[in-house]
Structure 1
Amino acid sequence: METIVNGTDLLNIGYKQTEVLGQALKLANSKYNDQPKEEVLALFKKVKDYPENFLDDEVLEPLASAMIEEANAPVVETIPLKETAEVYTVYGESHIEQGAKDQMDVAMRLPVTVAGALMPDAHQGYGLPIGGVLATKNAIIPYGVGVDIGCRMALSVYDIPEEHFLLNEAKYKRELVAHTKFGAGHGYHGQYKAGHEVLDRNEFNIAPFIKKLHDKAWSQLGTSGGGNHFVEFGIIEFDKRDEVLGIDKGRYVALLTHSGSRGFGATIAGHYTKLAKDITKLPKEAANLAYLDLNSQAGQEYWIAMNLAGDYASACHQVIHDKMKKALGAEVLAKVENHHNFAWKEILNGEEVIVHRKGATPAGKGVMGIIPGSMTAPGFLVRGKGETEAINSASHGAGRQMSRTQAIKNITKADMRQMLKDHGVSLIGAGRDEAPMAYKDIEAVMASQTDLVDVVAKFTPKLVRMADDGSRED
């Protein structure tokens, strides 16, 4: 009768759940299966206790060597999380999936965490959830900032009445197609490349890999990425005069853009995320929240590179808005811009902290921001109230209620076309993964953050361009 040794038998004599356990099991049940089980286990206990005595054994030498190597392997010590998560405020909790809350719970247990908040458009991401706001003490988390560093909104309000757009939509469409470019890896070449002072910044020299990205940054200047990035014309309505902006009550044509730092920012994010993971070993559930000490060389490098990527993202918007202003021959009554996917040094409860806003809009007292809905839902020009519980933040949009895969599976092209028609929106590009139905109700999201922002004006999309899914651009 064959002797069968199982994993529990080996664990009972001191083996651990490692690769050595599997090696020992295989050996015990192939080479010693004709011997009594007690004798086999006694032998394997000796090998475990004194592996050096079996280095000359023809059969057991590989197991003994593996044990010695395992014992001498450097111990990778993980930094423990706090046993109890810091308390944080959730806005619009009923709209937020459990996965996002679970991710925030982990983030609140980091040893460097000071405070946090979850915005009503939150959904699950990598590391920090989208819509997560996290304040840390002298530490920066690359994945707490996100891959698309400095992704932002920019709004130009023109001195053009609504009627002009309605009578000349074909012209607006021509200009939109002529002066925008979308999609991963896409850029301008030769005489079509734009210039901007950000390209002359010395920060491009802080690291060789960043310097090598200069040409790509130049070619992609003034372009927009894929996914949910867009350039759109719409009508913005002020229901009363805004004294700060100096705009009278009325309905005006406006340009709204959403995009980030393109391949330049994504490469920076990838490089420093890997570096943070190599330096800061966290438990598995928190691995994507690896951080860099701001007093370290790596932390300082990332901080400089992040700010450069944020300014580059802003420059991309500026190029688009300048082109469109010139093409339309319009005057800009007001320009408002805000970013998310970024980190700021701010004072919170009397101490300096690093505030990460991954998909959250800065909303300090009096700070202007733009919170978009979807391609058929309104967006809002807002002014922050400076709510400390929200760490001076608000949502950055409606937030997804369907993943891209779910949207493609559940939404038909006919459904999407009908919704666009019902809302009087013309669309260039975009796939079903960006269909309006994939997003939460922006009105419900805004209702959940009345303590965080005041609405200044309402923007209604009319002509939207996104990354092409094969749709024609004529």
Structure 2
Amino acid sequence: METKITGTDLIAVGYKENAILGLALQLVTQHKGTNEKATLLEVFKKIKENPENYLDDPIWEDLATKLIEEANAPVDETIPLRETAKEYRVFGAEQIEEGARNQMHIAMKLPVTVAGALMPDAHQGYGLPIGGVLATKNAIIPYGVGVDIGCRMALSIYDIPEHHFYENEGKYKRELIVHTKFGAGHGYHGQYKSNHDVLDRNEFNLTPFIKNLQDKAWSQLGTSGGGNHFVEFGIIEFEQRDEVLNIDKGRYVALLTHSGSRGMGATIAGYYTQLAKQRCKLPAEAANLAYLDMNSQEGMEYWLAMNLAGDYASACHEIIHDKMQKAIGGTLLAKVENHHNFAWKEVWNGEEVIVHRKGATPAGKGVMGIIPGSMTAPGFLVRGKGETDAINSASHGAGRQMSRTKAIKNISKADMKAVLKEHGVTLVGAGRDEAPMAYKDITVVMEAQKELIDVVAKFTPKLVRMADDGSHED
């Protein structure tokens, strides 16, 4: 009886649609008419299930060898992305570059993604765009947090009237220079080092890698990084009394700082990003979004190290603010602090998630934060509205409209000086990469997020210090 075994028959007994199937069909043709179809098909099934039994068979040896090679071939460990990206809300879409939108689109395809949102100051970064908010299920993405872990804003409002600043601007400038230090790799040595309880935290004993960061953390404690980090005096205006802060309507001297976890945070980010890439192989376009399972040892290590770096960043601000208050005097009316480049455990739509805010400000209902503009544009003290579509977030600033390279190429020193003079701002340090013109219009950004936050007060920079050469974090 003639056999009529087809590819479909072979697939039904366990073969795959590949080159081995083609070889099996060639053997079917060679043995045409020699066996009943059912009998021959049973032979092919046995070869598929136990190919090692046929390695010495002159007829079936080649097929058996190919099946064994297939079984032992390296498995493609690449984790596939979702075919369709989850929907997400974009605030101020007309101000956001395509690169940032594309990065967010890829992030919304991750198998662990639950929800996302893009803030109006968003621009392209590494992995998750700066201004991107991403909620994941039981997974933490080191590059979703960012390199400068726990970077934050801190605002001290004093009972010092506005006129005192203008009458004593020379003193404010001297004290600002004496009590701050900036730039990648820069730190304090010997008797100039500060101390803080954060250096005694048990997390430094978590692993030898983290322990090795303790000395560097001590030397850089109380310093600020390069790039867009700053310490500045300015005037904050309350147009009406704020009952929560217990501050009357008026204009007060205030200190505003922006900096993060320095070299310690950057080193932690680099180490755990590489670890995540080894453990979590994603397609090339999503490689920088490699994540760690929160139940894994590496995931818990990173979580603890991230929180340590965040608290270290807070300690740096605390030391700077304490020094400045002692130097200028005055009573502290209120201090507000918030951070970005971090991940939080939160409940979203009834589900516990890990919320990554890379360059985004927490804005849960009633949560206070600071959104700066630029060295000449105003910043804003705000109170969150708890908007679900934004995953309780807002922008972390105006956002760049020029890359650093483009800013240096297109903005002259003369142009930068003219803008500073026009706004009555004294600048100590900073490169042209941080020129005000490199940033988006903060008023447009604030308009795009009116449903996310309420403005409590406006801060106007007057005396700004940044890294002398516009250097970046180490």
The TM-score normalised by the length of structure 1 is 0.84
Q: Deviations over 1:75-110 (max 9, x none)?
A: 442100011111100000000000000000000000
CA distance in 2, matches of 1:164, 1:395: 32
**Aligned residue number for residue 285 of structure 1:** 285
CA distance in 1, matches of 2:84, 2:403: 31
CA distance in 2, matches of 1:70, 1:205: 46
- Give the AA of the match of 2:248: D
Structure 1 residue 188 corresponds to structure 2 residue 173 = no
CA distance in 2, matches of 1:404, 1:134: 26
**Aligned residue number for residue 390 of structure 1:** 390
Contact residue 226 and residue 470 of structure 2 kept, 8 A: no
**Aligned residue number for residue 92 of structure 2:** 92
CA distance in 2, matches of 1:76, 1:176: 56
**1:469, distance to aligned residue in structure 2 (A):** 2.0
Partner of 1:109, secondary structure, is: coil
**Aligned residue number for residue 426 of structure 1:** 426
- Give the AA of the match of 2:457: A
**Aligned residue number for residue 209 of structure 2:** 209
**Aligned residue number for residue 136 of structure 1:** 136
CA distance in 1, matches of 2:470, 2:95: 33
**1:189, distance to aligned residue in structure 2 (A):** 0.5
CA distance in 2, matches of 1:375, 1:470: 13
Displaced runs of 4 or more, over 4 A? 69-73
**Aligned residue number for residue 452 of structure 1:** 452
- Give the AA of the match of 1:92: G
Name the CA shift for 1:419/1:70 in 2 (closer, same or farther; >3 Å): farther
CA distance in 1, matches of 2:70, 2:257: 55
**Aligned residue number for residue 62 of structure 2:** none
CA distance in 1, matches of 2:469, 2:312: 26
After superposition, residues 75-90 of structure 1 pair within 5 angstroms as 75-90=75-90
Name the CA shift for 1:75/1:380 in 2 (closer, same or farther; >3 Å): same
CA distance in 2, matches of 1:454, 1:140: 30
- Give the AA of the match of 2:112: V
Unaligned runs of 5+ in 2: 1-18, 20-68
**Aligned residue number for residue 351 of structure 2:** 351
Structure 1 residue 404 corresponds to structure 2 residue 367 = no
**1:191, distance to aligned residue in structure 2 (A):** 0.6
Contact residue 433 and residue 470 of structure 2 kept, 8 A: no
Q: Deviations over 1:388-442 (max 9, x none)?
A: 0000000000000000000000000000000000000000000000000000000
Name the CA shift for 1:70/1:122 in 2 (closer, same or farther; >3 Å): farther
- Give the AA of the match of 1:187: G
CA distance in 1, matches of 2:447, 2:441: 10
Partner of 1:406, secondary structure, is: helix
CA distance in 1, matches of 2:408, 2:351: 46
CA distance in 2, matches of 1:358, 1:148: 10
Partner of 1:352, secondary structure, is: strand
- Give the AA of the match of 1:126: Y
Partner of 1:376, secondary structure, is: coil
CA distance in 2, matches of 1:277, 1:246: 48
- Give the AA of the match of 2:389: E
- Give the AA of the match of 2:270: G
The TM-score normalised by the length of structure 2 is 0.84
**Aligned residue number for residue 274 of structure 1:** 274
**Aligned residue number for residue 263 of structure 1:** 263
**1:470, distance to aligned residue in structure 2 (A):** 9.0
- Give the AA of the match of 2:132: G
Contact residue 432 and residue 470 of structure 2 kept, 8 A: no
How many residue pairs end up in the alignment?
Answer: 405
Partner of 1:176, secondary structure, is: helix
**Aligned residue number for residue 368 of structure 2:** 368
CA distance in 2, matches of 1:455, 1:234: 17
CA distance in 2, matches of 1:165, 1:274: 48
Name the CA shift for 1:71/1:427 in 2 (closer, same or farther; >3 Å): farther
CA distance in 2, matches of 1:468, 1:147: 21
Contact residue 366 and residue 383 of structure 2 kept, 8 A: yes
CA distance in 2, matches of 1:433, 1:328: 31
Q: Deviations over 1:218-250 (max 9, x none)?
A: 000000000000000000000000000000000
**Aligned residue number for residue 104 of structure 2:** 104
Unaligned runs of 5+ in 1: 1-13, 15-68
User: In angstroms, what is the RMSD of aligned CA positions?
Assistant: 1.6
**Aligned residue number for residue 163 of structure 2:** 163
CA distance in 2, matches of 1:330, 1:150: 29
Name the CA shift for 1:73/1:412 in 2 (closer, same or farther; >3 Å): farther
- Give the AA of the match of 1:384: G
Name the CA shift for 1:320/1:393 in 2 (closer, same or farther; >3 Å): same
Partner of 1:128, secondary structure, is: coil
Name the CA shift for 1:217/1:94 in 2 (closer, same or farther; >3 Å): same
After superposition, residues 323-362 of structure 1 pair within 5 angstroms as 323-362=323-362
Query: Percent of aligned pairs with the same residue?
Result: 83
- Give the AA of the match of 1:201: R
CA distance in 2, matches of 1:212, 1:136: 31
**Aligned residue number for residue 435 of structure 2:** 435
After superposition, residues 277-316 of structure 1 pair within 5 angstroms as 277-316=277-316
Partner of 1:309, secondary structure, is: helix
Structure 1 residue 176 corresponds to structure 2 residue 176 = yes
Q: Deviations over 1:344-367 (max 9, x none)?
A: 000000010000000000000000
**Aligned residue number for residue 116 of structure 2:** 116
**Aligned residue number for residue 377 of structure 1:** 377
